[in-house]
Structures are given as structure tokens and as C-alpha cells.
Amino acid sequence: MLTALRNKYDGIFIASDALPESKETFDILLKESISYWSQQDIKVVWLEISATKCELIQAAINNGFEFHHCFTSKLILTKRLINNSYIPSFSTHTIGAGAVVLSEERKILVVLEKMDLVNRPQYYKLPGGMLERGEHMSEGVVREVFEETGIKSEFKGLLSFRHHHRGQFNTSNIYAVFLLKPLSFDISIDETEIGRAMWVSVDDYLSSPGVGEYNKLVVKAAVFSKPLVSVKIDGYMDSPNDYEIYAYD
């Protein structure tokens, strides 16, 4: 039998460290283990195979396993032992963060991507980008603004969420837009991605025919509305720093 642990989905999880080196031995033990677990009403088998044991993957496939996800150097496969058993999806969404960097003079920071320089020269967007793993949105949006434009900024609050189902890598996407206060004003663009960046007045931006309606909506919210602010709740799940919570102050 392969050494395994029960998980909360009425399933069995097999860690890569518990797997033998020989693919022949693995194939025999996997068959015997599946036969036993099937009699124990186990619903799903979760199998972890590290890159150092990649030769075991074919045996798992031959025994009915399917790819579920890959994390760093480990591949996770699953096999239903009971039809229609629940297997949660992995990484259904990507998260993007955009910024309305609004000065006291009612000017905002905008960027034109390199690919739009010729065909859409008036398509000025809000700076921002994708979050990195383990990064709070309030941190990621400040980082992205600095990387794209060289502008340092201070996080002020959440303005809007947009959700759609045509994101990267066949995922859905959540795009959050935040209000930032500029701490510097001299622009230095990331020339690998950004074609141009500039400060424009709110009125000029809102009247521009090349600006998307959603961007105009969030700029209006930045000027005329109060954003949701980031709050800390003591004792929340015993790890308040692991959470990002937004509410009206």
C-alpha cells in the first residue's frame, strides 16, 4: 500500500515523498492501493509527483489519473473512485490591479502601451498589472505603477471591481481599481511595455473619445466618491496580515 492521508474532500492524498523510485514498483503499489481505497468508499485520490520523479507520471496516467494543476516543481493528478465526486477547480481567476493616481491639481497618471502607439494613439489607460503570488492588492498596484512609470505613490483605497471571463490562460479575471496619491511626478517609463506615460487633467481625460467608458467611470469615482479603505480586524482568523479587507471608514 502507498502511504496516504485523508483530506477534507473524502479523498486520499499521496505525497511525492511517499512514492517509490521504481516506476514498476509504483505501478504495482498504485493498483493495490486503488483497489483497497475503492472498498473504503474513498471518493478521490490526489497524487503529487515531483519533478525528480517525473518517470512515474505515465504509470499514473495508465491507472486513470488526470492532470489537475502544477505548482512550482510538483504536479498534482486526480482520480475519481466514485463517479461525479467533487474535485475543486484550481486557479479559476487571475487578479489585476489598476490605479487612478490623482494629484491635488486634479491630474491623473495615464499610460499608452507600446502596441497601441500606432493603431490607437489616444487609447490612454490607467497604469497597473497582474498581482504576484502572495502579494496584497494594495502592495501590487503601488509596485506596478512604479515599475511602469517610475512614479512613487501612496495607497488610498478601493474604487471598483470588474469581473469578466476572458482572462489569461483560460481563466476568469478580476480587475480592481484603486485610488493612489502621487509622491513623485517625474515619469520614467518601462520601455519594454509602455510606449508613453503622461499627466493629464481629469476633464481632458473624461472628454477624450479614445478612453474606455469603464476607465472614465472609475476616474469619476476617484474624484467625486469616497473609496473603500483597507482595514485591519484584530483576531480575524488569528492572522489579520494574511487578509485584505476593504470597508467604509
Helix, coil or strand: residue 138: helix
pLDDT at 170: 80
How far is Cα 7 from Cα 85, in angstroms, rounded to an integer? 14
Supply the DSSP symbol for 183. Answer: S
**Cell numbers for 51:** 519533478
How far is Cα 132 from Cα 137, in angstroms, rounded to an integer? 9
Measured between alpha carbons, how far apart are the two ends of the chain, in Å? 56
pLDDT at 172: 92
pLDDT at 239: 62
pLDDT at 72: 84
pLDDT at 162: 94
Query: Where do the structural domains in the chain lie, given as residue ranges?
Result: 5-80, 94-247
How far is Cα 99 from Cα 54, in angstroms, rounded to an integer? 42
Q: Is the pLDDT of residue 198 over 70?
A: yes
What's the pTM value of the predicted model, to 2 decimals? 0.82
pLDDT at 166: 84
Span 130-138, average pLDDT:
92
Q: Domain spanning 94-247 has what CATH number? A: 3.90.79.10
pLDDT at 234: 75
| Residue 154 neighbours by CB distance under 10 Å | 11
How far is Cα 28 from Cα 32, in angstroms, rounded to an integer? 6
For the stretch 200-236, pLDDT in tens is 999 999 999 989 999 999 999 999 999 999 888 776 6
Domains 5-80 and 94-247 share a fold: no
For the stretch 100-131, pLDDT in tens is 999 999 999 999 999 888 888 888 999 999 99
Span 78-100, average pLDDT:
93
Q: Concatenated DSSP letters for 81-116?
A: SSTT-----S--EEEEEEEEEB-TTSEEEEEEEGGG
Supply the DSSP symbol for 182. Answer: E
Span 165-192, average pLDDT:
92
For the stretch 10-49, pLDDT in tens is 899 999 999 999 999 999 999 999 999 999 999 999 999 9
Q: Domain spanning 5-80 has what CATH number? A: 3.40.630.30
Burial class (CB in 10 A: 0-12, 13-18, 19+), 90: exposed
Q: Is the pLDDT of residue 240 over 60?
A: no
For the stretch 48-79, pLDDT in tens is 999 999 999 999 999 999 999 998 899 999 99
